[in-house]
Amino acid sequence: MKLLVVLLALLLLVWLLFGSSRRRTRDARRDSPSKPAPGPAAKIEDMVVCAHCGVHLPASLALHVQGRSYCNAAHLDAGPRAP
């Protein structure tokens, strides 16, 4: 009989410990945001092709001369590639 009381006391102790840790985990999950807040929408920008090497780049980063776009000054100096 004494062994049964000790065994029940141990089971109760284990149940209480695991129950409290499970509650803490559940509460922590509920308090944390599930998804990060969305940032500002990215502005869509036109892409252009370098007249010399053919690489695509945003229009704001390109060098524009005489209706053509170039990716850097060296390609601007070299001019458009011959077909």
Residues of the chain with pLDDT under 70: 23-24, 26-37
Which residue blocks in the chain are alpha helix, DSSP H?
2-31, 73-78
Whats the size of the chain, residue-wise?
83
pTM: 0.49
With CA atoms as reference, report the closest residue to 53 among 72, 81, 82. 81
Under the phi-then-psi rule, with left for phi > 0, alpha for psi from -120 to 50, and beta for the rest, what region is 67?
left
Coil, helix or strand for 25? helix
Distance CA 56, CA 82 (A): 18
Q: What is the pLDDT of residue 60?
A: 94
pLDDT tens digits for 9-25? 999 988 888 877 776 67
Q: What is the pLDDT of residue 33?
A: 62
Residue type, 19: G
